[in-house]
Amino acid sequence: MNDFFAILYEGTFLGDLFYLDGFSNDMFEANAYMSIGLTMLLSSAFLEFIYYYFISNYSGFYKKRFWLIWILVIGIINFGAAYYQSTIAIEDFYSTSTEGSPYSFTEYFTFSMVNAIWAIIFSFLFSIVLKFKSVKASKTPF
C-alpha cells in the first residue's frame, strides 16, 4: 500500500514531478505515505458523503459554488492533516539521530500541497459516484 501512495506523492507516473530529494525517501521508509494516503482517501470520501447526503439538503447548499467551497475545505483539511502527520513521522524517524530532522518548512509544505491536490482530485471523483443518490445535489457539480 505504501508503494501505491508513493506513486501518487512522488509523481512517479509523471516523471518524479513531486519527488523531494531525501524527504521522499525518508517518508517512504517511515511508512508515512500509507497512513497519510489512507487519511486523505477516507476523509475525502466521508466528507463528500456528508455533503451529498446532509449538507446539500438544506437551503441552497446544493449549488455549485457551495460544492466548490466544500471541495476547497476538504483540500485545506487534508493539507493540515498531511503537514501534521508528516512532521510527526519524520520527527519519529529521526528521533534516534543526534542532529534531528534535516528538513525545513519547505519540504513539509510542498508535500502537504501535493496531498491537498490529490484530496481535491479524489473528492471530485467521489462526487461523481455519490451525487446520483442525493436528494437535491444530484446535478452538482454538473
Say if 76 falls within a structural domain: yes
Burial 36-68 (b: 16+ CB within 10 A, else e): bbebbbebbbebbeebbeebbeeeebbeeebbe
Residue 113: domain span: 2-133
pLDDT digits (tens, 9 = 90+) for 37-72: 999 999 999 999 998 888 777 777 777 888 899 999
Residue type, 25: N
Q: Is the pLDDT of residue 23 over 70?
A: yes
Say if 73 falls within a structural domain: yes
| Torsion 133-136-140-142 (CA) sign | positive
**Nearest-angstrom CA–CA distance, 86 and 20:** 13
Say if 101 falls within a structural domain: yes
Q: Is the pLDDT of residue 117 over 90?
A: yes
- The reported pLDDT for the residue numbered 35 is 93
Say if 141 falls within a structural domain: no
Mean per-residue pLDDT over the chain, rounded: 85
Q: Is the pLDDT of residue 73 over 70?
A: yes
**Nearest-angstrom CA–CA distance, 34 and 52:** 27
Say if 37 falls within a structural domain: yes
Say if 138 falls within a structural domain: no
Domain count, the chain: 1
Say if 139 falls within a structural domain: no
Instruction: Give the N- to C-terminal CA distance of the chain in Å, as an integer.
Output: 33
Say if 142 falls within a structural domain: no
User: pLDDT above 70 covers what percent of the chain?
Assistant: 90
